[in-house]
Amino acid sequence: MTLVKGFGVSPEDIIFGGVCKQLSQMKYAAKSGISLLVCDNETELNKIARCHPRARLLLQVAMEPGEAEEELAMPFGSSLKDCRHLLESAKKLGVQVVGVKFHIPSSCQDPETYSHAVSDARCVFDMGEDLGFHMNILDVGGGFSGSIDQLEKVYSTMKPLLDVYFPASSGVSLIAEPGSYYVSSAFTLAVNVIAKKVVARDHQEDLCESLCANDEPEFMYYMNDGVYGSFAYKLLEESVPAPTLHKELSAKEPLFSSSLWGPSMDGLDQVVESCLLPELSVGDWLVFSNTGANSMGGSATEGDQQSPHVHYTVSSSDWYDMQDSASGLDTSMKKFSLVSCSHQSSLYKSPVSTPA
């Protein structure tokens, strides 16, 4: 909160998210004029009533996971059934409820989940208005990956329902949390293959069976970074897309069923469960694109893993455009020089971080 205020953001425009807040943090929010808070349970509601009675609440509504997400689902938010009770409790405590928030993780592959979320939000709005609350904010949350395809799919699913349930004439402010979408492409993560194993097919559960002949080998590759480092988000809700290989390949190069693991030798340290790759050698580099929203936020907690070294890069065209506008740059910026890397140009389109 202090950091955001330091950027000149008005307290009225700050939402104190997270459904488990420390008392000291809520008191600081009240003192700082930050009134919009997220809540999803009665215990938290009572805390808010004591520490921040002038708060304006967004009720976080839980989404039902699809079948593919059930194993990864975490109980964030209040069920639609419990929302009525929370609204009635807020009314008794004199705490204002002004809207609804929901969050659908980017791992969700079922567009209907977004349709249900908007419909549920409308139900909560109706409940709140029946109790006399002025409901005027709908926060559709985050969960947007760096994929334009995913963003367009979410938009095409939600837009018709938003037009019906929350038209412009309703006066409801529609907001979202697209931070991960904006910054995901800011970094590319490069990891090194440090070991590999050939495994018997029956030790794996038919990885890519439909694409690989039964007599072909399968490979387990160990990398110098894993879920206790840059891939920590894998332990929560996200899947990790297959990487690209940072070397020239023949179009006829055979592909093999492969799995990618971190260096800890922990059974949980599996980064990619199944993908098709050519046979790799120790020392090869794998490149994971769009990792800015996830890989740079955590710190390693296992063994000798360290935070990746960050190398800032810029395309030649952007660099020369910046130099042409150098009159508006500070002196330190003018001191930089350009090192041209014409080979493997795809790797140099965005900043690259490499594990130590």
% of the chain beyond a pLDDT of 90: 49
Query: Are 53 and 105 in the same domain?
Result: yes
| pLDDT given at position 293 | 79
Same domain, 239 and 323: no
Angle at Cα 67 formed by Cα 298 and Cα 103, nearest 5°? 45
- Where the chain has pLDDT below 50, the residues are 67-73, 203-205, 207, 210-213, 300-302, 341-350
Cβ atoms within 10 Å, residue 327: 6
Residues with Cβ < 8 Å from 65, sequence gap 6 or more? 72, 73, 108, 113
Do 34 and 149 lie in a common domain?
A: yes
Q: What is the pLDDT of residue 196?
A: 94
State whether 284 and 243 are in the same domain. yes
Q: Do 204 and 245 share a structural domain?
A: yes
* Residue 78 shares a structural domain with residue 102: yes
Could you tell me if 166 and 120 lie in one domain? yes
Q: Which two tokens stand for residue 77?
A: 């938010």
| pLDDT score for 130 | 96
Q: Phi first, then psi: what are they for 247, rounded to 5°?
A: -165, 160
**Distance, CA of 66 to CA of 69 (rounded, Å):** 5
Residues 186 and 142 sit within 8 Å (Cβ to Cβ): no
- In terms of Cα–Cα distance, which of 71, 131, 86, 80 is closest to 102? 80
Domain that holds residue 275: 187-307
CATH number at residue 245: 2.40.37.10
User: What is the number of domains present in the chain?
Assistant: 3
Strands 218-223 and 188-199: antiparallel
Q: pLDDT per residue over 7-64, tens digit each?
A: 999 999 999 998 889 999 999 999 999 999 999 999 999 999 999 999 999 999 997 6
